[in-house]
A and B are shown apart, each in its own frame.
Chain A
C-alpha cells in the first residue's frame, strides 16, 4: 500500500479558505486568553487582578462588537469555513451572542470582591487545605487570577462547540471548554475540601463521558467514512451500510453530549459539582455549558440525523422523561439551595430536550429562545445565592433562608421573581420559553410527551414555591445569615439577569424573531 504521506509530496496541498470576519469573535476570545496567560507570567501580583478583569471584560465586549458587525451583512443561509469544519449560520450567531452575554454576567460575578474580601477564589490553590498556611490565606485578599484566562478559554471552546460542523472539531472544542472548568471547580476560597472533591468528580466523570463521545465518533467514522455532519447525513440516505455502526455511534455520541447538558440519567455529577464549585463558577457552568451543549446537540440532530429521526426519537423520549422526573422529584427532597437549583437545571434539561426533538423550524427557534431565557435566569439566581452569607461563607442550607424577606425584602423579591421564572409563571421569560418549546413539540406530533412535561413542570413549580413560602412566611432564625450588600459587579450581573428575564417575558417578539432568523448551514 502506498504511503499516503509520500503520495502527497508531489503536489501542493490546497490551503483552506478562512473567512476571518466570520470567526473573528472566537479568535478574539482565544487570543485574549493567551494574552491573559502571558500577563499572569509577567505582571507583579498586585497588578494582576485589575488588569485581568479589564482585559476579560474588554475582550467579551470586543467579541460582541465583532459579532454585531458580522451579523449585519452575514449571508442568510450561513457559511462554512476552515475547510467546512466550522459553520457560521443563524443558530451559531444566536448562540454566540447568548454565550457572550452570559459570560459577561458570569465574569462580573467572578470578579466581584465586595461580598467576600478577595473574591470567591482561593489565594493559593497549591496550599493544602487545613494547614497553617491555609488558615492564613483565608483572610488574605489575593486570588488565583488564572481564573480569568481559564474562563476565556472555556468560552472560546463553547463558541467553537456550537459552531463545529464536524465531529472531530466538536470533540476538540468539548475538551477546550471542559478542561478549564474542571480546574475552576476546585478553586473555592471557603470549603476547599468540598470544592476539590467536586473538581475530582467532575473531571473523572467528564473524562469518562468524553471517551464515550469519542467512541461514538469512531463508530460514525466507520459508518460514513467521514466525520463531517453533512457526510453522515448523506450516508444515512444510502441503505447498504451497517445500521449497527450508525446506531451504536449515535448512542455513544449522545451519551457524551447529554452528559455535558446534564440531562436525564447522565446527570449524577450535576448536584455535587454545582454545590462544591465556587458559586460564580457554578453560575458560569449552569448558564453557559447548558447553552453550548444544547447548541451542539441541536446541530448534530438537525444536520446529521434528521432523516433517521424516527429511529432515535423513542430513545430520546425516554431520556427526556427520566430527566424531567429526576429533576422535579429529587428536587423536592433537597435541603441545600445550590443543589436544588442543580436539580432544577436537570428538569430544565428535560424540557429543552422536548424542544430539541422537534426537528422543525419552531423546535429550533423555541429551543434557542429557551436557552437564552434559562441562562439569564439561572445566572441571576446564583448571583443572589452568593449574597446570603454567615460566618463560614455562603449559607446555602434552606433553613438559613427562612424569613429572609424580613431581613432583606429586596433580595427576597428578586429571588422570588427568579424562582417564578424558573417555574414558568406568565410574565417571565420561563413561561414564554416553555410555551414555544411545548407548542413546537405539539405541532410535531409529540402530544403525550408534552402532557408528561406539563405534569413535571407543575411538580417542579412546587419546590420553587416552597422556597418562596419559606422566605416570606417563616420566622427568621435568631442567628441566621446576613445579606451582604453587593458591590457594583454583582449588582450589575443580577440586574442584567433580572432585566432580561422580565423583558423576555413581556416583550419576547424581538428575541423570538432573532432565534428564528434561519436554519443550520447545510453545505459542507
Chain B
C-alpha cells in the first residue's frame, strides 16, 4: 500500500538518494545531507506546530508500506518571500504609439517583481524511479491540494508553482546565457544551486533591476520565456487540469512559467466530498459486501476509479488511494489495515477526491451539493 504522510527524519537516506538521482534540475532539493536534514526538521516543526504558520514548510512523503520506505516527496511552502526576497520577472507589454507616425509597436518587457511574496507555493516534487507511473506522481502532487483544502487558514487564498524552464542536456539555459550571465559571470547551474541553497541575496545584488526590453535579447532566449522544460510538460499539464494558469510571471533564471490557482477553484478541492468511515470485516471482498456500492464513471466491468482518501489530521496527515467502489452514499468502507494506515476509526469523517482526471461520476457530485440544494430550496 502507498500512503502519504508527513516526512520524518528517518526518511533522510531515501530522500538523499532521490535528490542525487534527480540531478541538477531540482533546485529546491539539492543533494546536500545537511540541507535536507534541516528541511526535514523544519517540516517536522511545522506539523508539530512549533513554528509560526506563515513560516511553515510542509513536506509529504509517499511511503511504500510494503518496503517501509519513502519513495517520493512533495511539499508546500506556507509563504514565500518572508525571510528572503522572492523574485520573478513579470512579462508585460510596453506600447509605443504615435498616430502621427502611424507607429503602434508592442514591446514585451520583463519587469523584476516580488509579486508572489506572501503566497503559498507548492514545490519539491520528487519521485523515486522505481515508483514512476501508476498515478504515483499524481498522488504526490494532488495530496497537497487536499491538505491545502483542509487547512486553508494556514495558507494564502492563492497557491502557485514555479515550473522548470528550458535548458539543454548540459544544463545550459538560453535565457540565462543571454541575460543572467551578462550580470553574474557564472553558469546557470551554479547560480541555480546557489539559489536553491537559500542564498538569495546575491540575486538582489547582481540581477538587473531595470526592465528588460525583450527585442534586445536573441531569438533563442525570447523563445523560452514562459516555456517549460520537456520533462516538466506532464507536471504542467497536470496542474492545468487542476485549474492552474500561467499568471504572467517567469523565473528570473530560466524563464520557466509560474502557474497559480485559487485554492477554492482547484479541481481536486472542488471535486472532493466527505464520507463516514465504516470498517468492514477483512474477510468479505469490498465489491460484494455492500449493497450500496457505486462504480466509477467507466461503469461495470471496468476497473473502478482510483480515489484519494484523506484523514484530515493536521499533525498525522494521511492519504491513501482506494477504488471508488468502496464508497457508498454516506459511507466509505475501509479494511482494518487501511483504516489503521489512515489512522481513522469507524464513524470518523474522511475526505475523498478522484486521483485521475477522468470525469467524476455524478454521484460524487461534491460536498457542496447539500448547500446548493438548500439555497435553491430543493
- Are A and B genuine complex partners? no
Which residues of B pack against A, CB within 8 Å?
Answer: none
